[in-house]
Amino acid sequence: MLDQHSIVVGVDVHKYSHTAVALDAWGKEQGTHTFSNQSLDAYLVWLLTLGEKDALTVGVEDANCYGTHLVETLREAGIHTRYVPAVLTERERTHSTTRKKSDAVDASRVARVLLTKYGETLPAKEAIATREELLLAKELDLMLMEREDLTRSKTILKNQLHALLYQHYTEVYRTVCPRSFSKKAIAWFESDLAGEETILAAGIVRRLKRITFVMGQIATIDKDIARVSASAPSVRALTSIHGCGTLTASQIVAEAVTVRRFTDKHHFAAYAGVTPIPHSSGRKNRLHTNPFGNRKLNRAIHTIALSQIALKDETATAYYQKKLVEGKTKLWALRCLKHQIAKRVYHTLKRA
């Protein structure tokens, strides 16, 4: 936590250069430094001229991409580092009287967010997770990102193929391809269109080859995820939750990285964006949906909730029906269930 001796340093990171601005506990600027990933040692020297190492707190907005090397260096040096959500620095800019923008100004805003909203920031995962946890989360994240891009491409190709096949065969093609493009259906279409030389037929065949390639890559990534997850206790523990498959469990581990980043189950639920936001005035007490938080983690918990309802999980169904009897809408009852699942996910990760 911060005290009167604390020095906070906000860093605005970019691909080729980073800018750091240091503030004391009262918001007075203590110095500015511009550096790159090639001069991180000089940056560490500058940091230590500001005060004792235990009094320093560095805030990084983009800790997952351009700030990766910086955060790893700070971890090795034993300097406390926190992740500052971009939405907080954007609010700081929006609410300022002068909406100036420069690297130094942005870095100063990152530091001011640390001073004023310290509780809404999180320890950077590189600063608190073990190397094994970081490696697992990074591998899963890379594979899941690639899989998501491939799945998006597959959806685009399927939509295009449905339109083109309709033009060629009319609605009769649905007898061959009733729901999805299986290997058998793709082989039939390629065989049937092999002798045709029209632009339409050629376009269909090219897309069929591309979708076959994309589905093959997705299958390969799924095997890699299963292989990596098999040796990960946290992923195996999460799959014990009814409705949580390997992909969903991998997404949770990739986003949470380590449960030690969160003080308790409520902190984790808030980070996942499943905790409702109080919105009260006078005698009116209302709760609004939380549109913030980690949306990928929120989606994973949403998937578990929907699966439990679809699979008629006894505990989840009873809780869901209880909320409906209380007068809540189906959507709000689902949000309540997601909140319960988030707390269970936290306890599962805690025990793993």
Q: What is the pLDDT of residues 262-283, one digit of tens each?
A: 999 999 999 999 998 888 777 7
Count helices and strands in the chain by DSSP H and E runs: 14, 8
| Shared domain check, 36 and 90 | yes
Note the pTM of the prediction, 2 decimals.
Answer: 0.85
Structure tokens at 224: 């890699």
Last-in-domain residue among 228, 248, 269:
228
Phi and psi at 329, nearest 5°, equal -70, 165
| Shared domain check, 339 and 242 | yes
CATH number of 31's domain: 3.30.420.10
Instruction: Give tens-digit pLDDT for 59-81.
Output: 998 767 788 889 889 988 989 99
| Shared domain check, 278 and 220 | no
Please report whether residue 142 resides in a domain: no
Convert 82-97 to b/e letters by CB count within 10 Å (16 or more is b).
bbbbeebbeebeeeee
| Shared domain check, 12 and 119 | yes
| Shared domain check, 45 and 80 | yes
Answer whether residue 208 shows pLDDT above 70: yes
Last-in-domain residue among 228, 247, 270:
228
Q: How many CB atoms lie within 10 A of CB 50?
A: 19
Instruction: Give tens-digit pLDDT for 1-55.
Output: 788 889 999 999 998 999 999 999 999 999 999 999 999 999 999 999 998 899 9
Long-range CB pairs of 61-69 (<8 Å, 24+ gap) are 61/11, 61/12, 61/13, 61/85, 61/86, 61/89, 61/106, 61/110, 62/13, 62/86, 63/124, 63/125, 63/126, 66/13, 66/14, 66/15, 66/18, 67/11, 67/13, 67/18, 68/126, 69/37, 69/40
Question: Of 9-13, 24-28, 94-98, 237-241, which gets the smallest average pLDDT?
Answer: 94-98
Please report whether residue 156 resides in a domain: yes
Last-in-domain residue among 180, 195, 228:
228
* Residue ranges making up the domain that contains 260: 237-351
Mean pLDDT in residue range 321-345: 95
Domain count, the chain: 3
Please report whether residue 135 resides in a domain: no
Please report whether residue 2 resides in a domain: no
Question: Of 38-42, 84-88, 159-163, 305-309, which gets the smallest average pLDDT?
Answer: 84-88
The H-or-E segment that residue 280 falls in is: strand 277-281
Q: Which DSSP category does 3 fall into?
A: -
Please report whether residue 138 resides in a domain: no
Please report whether residue 21 resides in a domain: yes
Instruction: Give tens-digit pLDDT for 283-309.
Output: 777 878 888 889 999 999 999 999 999
